[in-house]
Structure 1
Amino acid sequence: METTINGEPRVTATHAALAFITEIQADYPEILFHQSGGCCDGSSPMCYPADDFIVGDHDVKLGEIGGVPVFISASQFEAWKHTQLIIDVVPGRGGMFSLDNGREKRFLTRSRMFGGGEACTVPAFRA
């Protein structure tokens, strides 16, 4: 799986998210993100110590932000493969098991559709 679509990264981060990553790395130098698929923490990007999270055989690596790998489940990737994920930071509580919890701000996923058919080619409809 390519981590870019026509040179555009599948995942990127705002300056605020990159600064927050650096803050968390002061306590946990090796971290990773896994885009949550729902349940208890909604669809938040979850930040874990790299040695505390087992990346599944069917997880997809979207790319890296600030040198930190970002993964998503294969089934969720199928639904979101046409979008660029943008990791941002907002005030609030992080996910229950995520390293942003208790820091009075949390990671948030924003997204935008890849334009011009970058993610896939859709055949033209002919009547």
Structure 2
Amino acid sequence: MYQRVDVTDAAASLIRKLTAQHGPLMFHQSGGCCDGSSPMCYPIGMFITGPGDVLLGDLEVGLDDPVEVYMSASQFEYWKYTHLTIDVVPGRGAGFSVEGPTGMRFLIRSRMLDAAELEHFGLSA
């Protein structure tokens, strides 16, 4: 199965802990303003998505419900040829993202889509 987003085991573990504290979560890949280009993690309902956002996919982290990942449509135009993996590293989390107080921060690791993925998503090389 082809997906645009994935999550590392370490990030999935932190997402499960944060879900226990804050309830169901979602991500929005920031466009680079105040918190750089970090994936921002919010309790569902704290960040409102709209027609200008693209659902990249769902993260399966071992919870009842998957965690949705969004990006603005304008930013997606630049990133549509990449696969994104949400990871976590020690550091100060983004100010509005729920991992902020944990001493960890989410980050994106990216790679170019391979030929089969490009074909699956209807993109040409």
Distance between the aligned counterparts of 1:71 and 1:12, measured in 2?
13
Runs of 4+ in 1 over 4 A off after TM superposition: none
**Bigger CA radius of gyration:** 1
TM normalised by structure 1 equals: 0.87
Are positions 1:51 and 2:51 aligned together? no
Per-residue deviation, 1:117: 6.3
Distance between the aligned counterparts of 1:26 and 1:121, measured in 2?
41
Q: Which runs of 5+ in 1 are unaligned?
A: 1-6, 123-127
Alignment identity in percent?
Answer: 53
In the alignment of these two chains, the number of paired residues is: 116
2:17 aligned partner: 23
Instruction: Calculate the aligned-residue CA RMSD, in Å.
Output: 1.1
Check conservation: 2:2, 2:117, Cα contact below 8 A.
Answer: no
Which one has a larger percent helix, Structure 1 or Structure 2? 2
Are positions 1:121 and 2:115 aligned together? no
Distance between the aligned counterparts of 1:42 and 1:51, measured in 2?
22
Q: Which runs of 5+ in 2 are unaligned?
A: none
TM normalised by structure 2 equals: 0.88
Which deviations, in whole Å up to 9, do the C-alpha atoms of 1:10-58 show, x marking residues without a partner? 0000000100100101111111100000011000000011111111211
Distance between the aligned counterparts of 2:117 and 2:81, measured in 1?
8
Say which SS state the counterpart of residue 117 (structure 2) adopts: coil
